[in-house]
Amino acid sequence: MDRLDNTVRPYAWGSTTALPALLGTEPSGEPQAEMWMGAHPGAPSRTGRGTLVEVIDADPERELGPAAAKFGPRLPFLLKLLAAGAPLSLQVHPDLEQARAGYADEERRGIPADAPHRNYKDANHKPELICALTEFDGLCGFRDPAATADLLAGLGVDSLKPYVDLLRAHPEDAALREVLTAVLTADPDEMRRTVTETAAACARLGGDYAPYADIAHHYPGDPGVIAALLLNHVRLQPGEALFLSAGIPHAYLNGLGVEIMANSDNVLRCGLTPKHVDVPELLRVVRFEAGDAGVLRPEATPDGEEVYATPIDEFRLSRFVLPEGAAAHDLTLGTPQILLCTSGTVRAGEHELTPGQSVFVPARERAEVSGAGTVFRATVVV
């Protein structure tokens, strides 16, 4: 079992206070957006045996067990603490088939891996799950088109009326596709005026419009503001989660959470960003299906584990809430694990963990936790 020393990423949208408050450190005044735990080559966790990439490369079978045969000689997930102080970009992720085809195509065309217009950094999909540690606001999936038409009409903005008509006049999938296409391909000057008028109306009306006014404050003139109005706004309570499968448009707005994802960098952006938006490829990947956001709540097992059930194998996230005086839990598995403390003080093997601290447990190595607090467990399904 290895204690992990993890990198904090200072993205501009990060909160200046949420991670320091969890970690019990003084804020630096700079944004602290994500703490990465895993073997992503961009910022691998460090151990007493080297980086986690080096540890796994040295003996994949020992460290990963049967996961090495199923997923290859790499840790297939990345675990994060995510602290949003401002909205992240509006985005979707490809499915596995799309990722493989897109990566092969861009490789064949010789697009440099670091090119700003490159969509596919690897050949993997990127399902992800976010579990709230505080109240957590996000956008997830398309709202019912009729309800969105009513929401837009209520703003009283003349330039939104064509979108209202489209949403009311077409079948669901066609309506959503046509509106998103129109928004992302509109004349930039006209769209800036529409966003400005829409932002002012959202700020004036408040209520259900308030989250979109805040988005517009951070991204003035961005067409993603209008695209965001097509999506469900959801406010997670601590312990609740969202699962983002392929093709689901989403954005995180504010709050602190535990995030886990397949180990991939494939992102197609819809707006709320200065980065490249590839509209044709985006429209190929987006799933134009309406529904609610699908809030997940953990399912308790007899041994005290609370599991966030998802339909993929690259990761499995669960938590243990350990009351004062409880007996030690045996968490030994045949698969690799990362254990993360988010409250209280717990002991994992020989390591005492306080909030924000974590350990890597190789496959089949004994893992016992005790103390009083909350421990998240990230592993895989084989």
pLDDT (tens digit per residue) in 252-269? 999 999 999 999 999 999
- What's residue 325's pLDDT? 86
Mean pLDDT of the chain: 96
Known active-site residue 364: no
| Secondary structure, 3-state, the chain | CEECECEEECCCCECCCHHHHHHCCCCCCCCCCEEEEECCCCCCCEECCEEHHHHHHHCHHHHHCCHHHHHCCCCCEEEEEEEECCCCCEEECCCHHHHHHHHHHHHHCCCCCCCCCCCCCCCCCCCEEEEECCCEEEEEEECCHHHHHHHHHCCCCHHHHHHHHHHHHCCHHHHHHHHHHHHHHCCHHHHHHHHHHHHHHHHHHCHHHHHHHHHHHHCCCCCHHHHHCCEEEEEECCCCEEEECCCCCEEEEEEEEEEEEECCCCCEEEECCCCCCCHHHHHHHCCCCECCCCCECCEECCCCEEEECCCCCCCEEEEEEECCCCCCEECCCCCCEEEEEEEEEEEECCEEECCCCEEEECCCCCCEEEEEEEEEEEECCC
- What's residue 365's pLDDT? 97
* CA trace torsion 78, 79, 81, 85 (10° rounding): 40
- What's residue 36's pLDDT? 98
User: Pairing between strand 241-244 and 128-132?
Assistant: antiparallel
pLDDT (tens digit per residue) in 183-239? 999 999 999 999 999 999 999 999 999 999 999 999 999 999 999 999 999 999 999
Which among 269, 316, 319, 377 is annotated as catalytic? 269
Amino acid at position 122, single letter: D
- What's residue 244's pLDDT? 96
Q: How would you label 306-339 residue by residue, b for 16+ Cβ within 10 Å and e otherwise?
A: bebebebbbbbbbbbbbeeeeeebebebebbbbb
> Tens place of pLDDT for every residue, the chain, 382 residues?
999 999 999 999 999 999 999 999 999 999 999 999 999 999 999 999 999 999 999 999 999 999 999 999 999 999 999 999 999 999 999 999 999 999 999 999 999 999 999 999 999 999 999 999 999 999 999 999 999 999 999 999 999 999 999 999 889 999 999 999 999 999 999 999 999 999 999 999 999 999 999 999 999 999 999 999 999 999 999 999 999 999 999 999 999 999 999 999 999 999 999 999 999 999 999 999 999 999 999 999 999 999 999 999 999 999 999 999 888 999 999 999 999 999 999 999 999 999 999 999 999 999 999 999 999 999 999 9
Q: How would you label 273-298 residue by residue, b for 16+ Cβ within 10 Å and e otherwise?
A: beeebeeebbbebbebebeebeebeb
